[in-house]
Amino acid sequence: MTNTLRFLALLLAALVTAGCGSQKSDAVKVGMNIEMTGDIPAVGASSKNAAEMFFEKVNAAGGIPLAEGKKKKVELVVRDNGAKADQAASVAQQLISSQDVVAMVGPNSSACAIPAGEIAETLKCVMISPWSTNPKTTMDTTANVPKRYVFRGCFTDPFQAIVLAKFVLNNLGAKKAAILYDVSSEAPLGQATLFKDTFTANGGEIVASETFTTGDKDFSAQLTNIRAANPDVIFLPTYYNDVPLIAQQARRLGITTTFIGSDAWSSPEIIKLGGADVEGSYFCNHFSTQIATDEAKQFVADYTAKYGQAPDDVAALTYDACGLIAEALKEGGKNDREALREALAKIREYKGVTGTFRFEPGSGDPLKSAVVLQIKDGAFQWVTNAQP
């Protein structure tokens, strides 16, 4: 019996210590809610690398200059959401309520960003998702107005759908498309629906539309259906970890059609996992190392020197998201959420590595241009640009 009491006492002590964990430090805390484990860990790793690189630079220069000549260093608080929506919501709660971060970067995947955005909006804390393209992330769906505290660093899916649909119809001259997408995940579902609408509105024809659920490994049934419909291209708006399996099974079934992807393809892991099966495919992206501006070239060089590999779009967008936060902190002058929010919304021209940022009043979505890349010879090759 006393053993149990001792055990209880230990537990209580642990709880108290855990609760007293958040000390008040003098630095500005920025939270990261990213996918370090789970289905898409490469995305989280890219994000973390870029953020760490950015804030190291800031801190090396003494910190962010606030009002009254004070300079405050930035402390990055990174938490893993495991690419799971509920975990992302819980992490958002923790970062905002208990870690007292002034702003939150991420989540990247739309399935995580949407619920985290709800929490950020309710708790009135700025959130910038570097990579989430689903319109719902910055939109308050019940009232149908844009959210006040949630921003993003990239273009949105409606724009991406137009870019891809036009590319397929005009550049590739293809009229018949088939779609295979994950019906249980926000981003692929949204992208598939928008592509369907845009493609048909511009004269194309969707000959087959198949779905699968997250975690599925076997697509032979769906691919057999697609094969029978004989499309010119197959649209696969799904994350980089699913594409290799789909591509390989399609090739094994004798399907030689070109694949078209969304920005969810953007990690270099897709080449490592997909190999020859994804060769020749096109996809839409936010960033290409090949057409970089001067800022971008510097960023690419720094990132490659520090981490030994070229940055992908997630890294570039996260770098810009951090830059936006730093800029807003500087303009706002205070380590305060409201001040940051006001300053961020007022940014008219911020030159990031992925383009120039400009937030229209009332909207958290910047106007950005897109690129179309092709996987050729085992690398991403730039094909064309698309302006909004």
Partner 1 sequence: MDYFAQQAINAVQLGSIYALIALGYSMVYGVLVMINFAHGDVFMVSSFFCFLLLLVLPVPFVVALIIVMLATAILGVAIERLAYRPLRNAPRVSAIITALGCGLVIQNTTLSLSPYSQRMPELFKPVTRQFAGVTLSSLQILIIGVSVGLMIALDFFIRKTRYGMAMRAIAQDRISVPLMGVPVNQIIAMTFAIGAALGGAAGVLYASAYPVISATMGVLVGWKAFVAAVIGGIGNVRGAVLGAYVLGAVEVFTVTVLPSTYRDLVVYSLLLVILIFKPYGLLGRPAVQKV
Partner 2 sequence: MTRWFKQPPPRGVLLALLVAGLAACFAIEQFGLVDNYVRFVLITLGINIILCVSLNLVNGWMGEFSVGHAGFMALGAYLSACVSVKWLGWGNPLWMFPLAVVAGGLLAGAVGFLLGLLSFKTRGDYLAIITLAFLMIVKSGIENIPYVGGPRGFLGIGNHTTLLWTAVWTVLTLWAIRNLVYSRFGRGIVAVREDEIAANAMGVDTRKAKLAAFVVSSFFGGVAGALFAHQLQFINPSVFDIVKSTEILVMVYLGGIGSLGGSILGAAAFTILAQVLQPLGTWRMVILPLILVLLMLFRPRGIMGMREFPWFVPRREFPAKEDKK
> Is residue 193 involved in binding partner 1 (CB under 8 A)?
no
CA atoms 326, 331, 332, 334: torsion sign: positive
Can you tell me the distance from the alpha carbon of 355 to that of 247, in angstroms, rounded to the nearest whole number? 32
Nearer to partner 2, 142 or 256 (CB): 142
> Is residue 273 involved in binding partner 1 (CB under 8 A)?
yes
Tell which residue, 25, 41, 31, 379, has the closest CA to residue 239: 41
Q: Which residues bind partner 2 (CB under 8 A)?
A: 1, 4-5, 7-8, 11, 14-15, 17-22, 36-37, 80, 84-86, 89-90, 93-94, 97-99, 111, 114-115, 118-119, 122, 141-142, 183-186, 189, 213-214
Tell which residue, 300, 238, 303, has the closest CA to residue 274: 238
> Is residue 265 involved in binding partner 1 (CB under 8 A)?
no
Question: Residue 189: which of partner 2, partner 1, none does it interact with, CB under 5 to 8 A by kind?
Answer: partner 2
> Is residue 216 involved in binding partner 1 (CB under 8 A)?
yes
Q: Minimum distance between the CB of residue 261 and partner 2, rounded to whole angstroms?
A: 21
> Is residue 213 involved in binding partner 1 (CB under 8 A)?
yes
> Is residue 220 involved in binding partner 1 (CB under 8 A)?
yes
Can you tell me the distance from the alpha carbon of 73 to that of 28, in angstroms, rounded to the nearest whole number? 6
Taking CB under 8 A as the criterion, the residue among 86, 205, 218, 360 binding partner 1 is 218
Question: Residue 217: which of partner 2, partner 1, none does it interact with, CB under 5 to 8 A by kind?
Answer: partner 1
Contact footprint for partner 1 (CB under 8 A): 36-37, 41-42, 183-184, 211-213, 215-218, 220-222, 224-225, 228, 241, 244-245, 248, 252-254, 269, 272-275
